[in-house]
Amino acid sequence: MSTSGRTRRAPASPPHGVFAALGDPTRLALVARLSAGGPRSIADLTEGTAITRQAVTKHLRVLAHAGLVRSIKDGRERRFRLDPAPLGQAQRALADLAAQWEDALGRLRRFVERGDPPRTPGEGLG
């Protein structure tokens, strides 16, 4: 495979929302809490933390928007559970970009060691 120039081929579905959602320490902590067990209520999630209900609600909304959290109506209470699929997608997207960097570094090594510019035919660089 690939050959691929590091041309920033986008992965099939670049999960930007996931990257941003996980970039916040409070949300990361919520994800950690949710990954540790079954569905949790907002009360469960605020317990033992300094975070307000409102803040948790807001962060859950961001996580839900990124597809990382789903809410389930449980009687009168709403519970939240983690959906790990987008996390996997995010990791695959990064793995794809990492593979593109590996290709590029391989071309850099060959270029320097062999003095062999891997040029495309017909193009007049330099």
* Residue 40 one-letter amino acid: R
- Is residue 84 involved in binding other proteins (CB under 8 A)? no
Stretch that binds other proteins, among 11-19, 34-42, 47-55, 74-82 (CB under 8 A): 11-19
Stretch that binds other proteins, among 9-17, 35-43, 44-52, 73-81 (CB under 8 A): 9-17
Residue from 12, 43, 72, 98 touching other proteins (CB under 8 A): that is 98
**From residue 24 to residue 43, what is the string marking binding to other proteins with x (rule CB under 8 A)?**
xx--x---------------
Q: What are phi and psi of 55, to 5 degrees?
A: -65, -45
Note the residues at the interface with other proteins (CB under 8 A): 3-10, 14, 16-25, 28, 62, 65-66, 87, 90-91, 94, 97-98, 101-102, 104-113, 117-120, 123, 125-126
